[in-house]
Amino acid sequence: MYTVDLIIANDWGTGFTANLVITNLSNDPLEWSQLEFDAPFTITNLWNGEILSSEGDRYVVTNADWNGTIAAGTSISLGFNGRKTSGAPVEVTNLNLVGLGAPTGSVPPTSEPEPEFPKITIADISLMEGDSATSADFQVRLSASSDDAVTVRYRTEDGSAIAGEDYTATSGTVTFAPGETEKTISVPVIGDSQVEADETFKIRLSNPSNGDLEVSTATATLENDDVAPPPSSNPPPATSPASDSAGAISFEVTDDWGSGFTANVTIRNTGNEPIDSWTLGFDAPFTIQQIWNASFTQSTNGAVDVAPVDWNQTIPPGATVTFGLVGAKAPNVDPTPINYELNGAVIGDPTPAPTPLPTLTISNATATEGADDAAEFRVTLSEASDEAVTVNYTTENGSAIAGEDYTATSGTVTFAPGETEKTIQIAIADDTQAEASETFTVELTNPVGATLEDAQGTGTILDNDSDSPDPGPNPNPDPNPNPDPGDGSPSTGEFNYAEALQKSFLFYEAQRSGPLPDDNRIEWRGDSALNDGADVGQDLTGGYYDAGDHVKFGLPMAYSMTMLSWGVDEYRDAYSQIGQLDEALDAIRWGTDYLLQAHVTDANGTREFWGQVGDGNLDHSYWGAPEDMTMARPAFKIDRQNPGSDLAAEAAAALAAASIIFRPTDAVYADTLLTNARQLYEFADTYRGKYSDAIPNAQSFYNSWSGYNDELAWGAAWLYEATGERAYLQQAESIYQNQIGSLNQGWTLNWDDKSYGVAVLLAQQTGDQRYQQDVEGWLDAWVEGRNGVQITDGGLRWISQWGSSRYAANTAFVAGVYADTVRDPGGDYSALAETTVDYLLGDNPRNASYVVGFGDNYPLQPHHRGAHGGTSSTLNSPAPNDNILFGALVGGPSEPNDFAYEDERNNYITNEVALDYNAGFTGVLARMVDAFGGTALSPAELDALPGITVPDAF
> Is the separation of the CB atoms in 406 and 426 below 8 Å?
yes
Q: Which uninterrupted H or E stretch holds 26?
A: none
Task: Please count the other Cβ atoms lying within 10 Å of the Cβ belonging to residue 281.
Answer: 15
DSSP strand E in 105-196: where?
110-111, 119-122, 125-128, 134-142, 150-158, 171-176, 182-189
Q: How far apart are CA 133 and CA 344, in angstroms?
A: 18
Beta-carbon contacts of 828 under 8 Å, excluding residues fewer than 6 positions away, are: 779, 780, 783
Q: Which of 457, 458, 438, 422 is nearest to 368 (CA)?
A: 438
3-state secondary structure 801-834: CCCHHHHHHHHHHHHHHHHHHCCCHHHHHHHHHH
Task: Please count the other Cβ atoms lying within 10 Å of the Cβ belonging to residue 949.
Answer: 13
Beta-carbon contacts of 872 under 8 Å, excluding residues fewer than 6 positions away, are: 623, 624
Q: How far apart are CA 566 and CA 813, in angstroms?
A: 10
Strand 34-38 to strand 58-63: parallel, antiparallel, or no bridges (unpaired)?
antiparallel
Q: How far apart are CA 696 and CA 674, in angstroms?
A: 29
Q: Which residues are catalytic?
A: 549, 863, 868, 903, 912
Q: How far apart are CA 595 and CA 592, in angstroms?
A: 5
Q: Which of 194, 211, 3 is nearest to 95 (CA)?
A: 3
Strand 119-122 to strand 212-213: parallel, antiparallel, or no bridges (unpaired)?
parallel
Burial (CB < 10 A; 0-12, 13-18, 19+), residue 173, is middle
Task: Please count the other Cβ atoms lying within 10 Å of the Cβ belonging to residue 423.
Answer: 12
Q: How far apart are CA 868 and CA 753, in angstroms?
A: 31
Cα dist. 875→81, 523, 879, 905 in Å?
61, 22, 10, 7
> Is the separation of the CB atoms in 493 and 927 below 8 Å?
no
DSSP strand E in 329-455: where?
338-342, 345-346, 359-362, 365-368, 374-381, 389-397, 410-415, 421-427, 438-448, 451-454
Q: Which of 214, 324, 317, 220 is nearest to 270 (CA)?
A: 317
Cα dist. 319→166, 462, 662, 896 in Å?
18, 51, 47, 11
What is the secondary structure of 708-762 as a DSSP string? SHHHHHHHHHHHHHHH--HHHHHHHHHHIIIII-S--TT----SS--HHHHHHHH
Burial (CB < 10 A; 0-12, 13-18, 19+), residue 940, is exposed
DSSP 88: -
**Alpha-carbon 38 to chain mean position:** 42
3-state secondary structure 466-482: CCCCCCCCCCCCCCCCC
Q: How far apart are CA 471 and CA 454, in angstroms?
A: 28
> Is the separation of the CB atoms in 879 and 915 below 8 Å?
no
Within 30-113, residue ranges assigned H as helices are none
Q: How far apart are CA 102 and CA 95, in angstroms?
A: 6
Task: Please count the other Cβ atoms lying within 10 Å of the Cβ belonging to residue 215.
Answer: 14
Q: How long is the chain?
A: 954
Terminal Cα-to-Cα distance of the chain (whole angstroms): 70
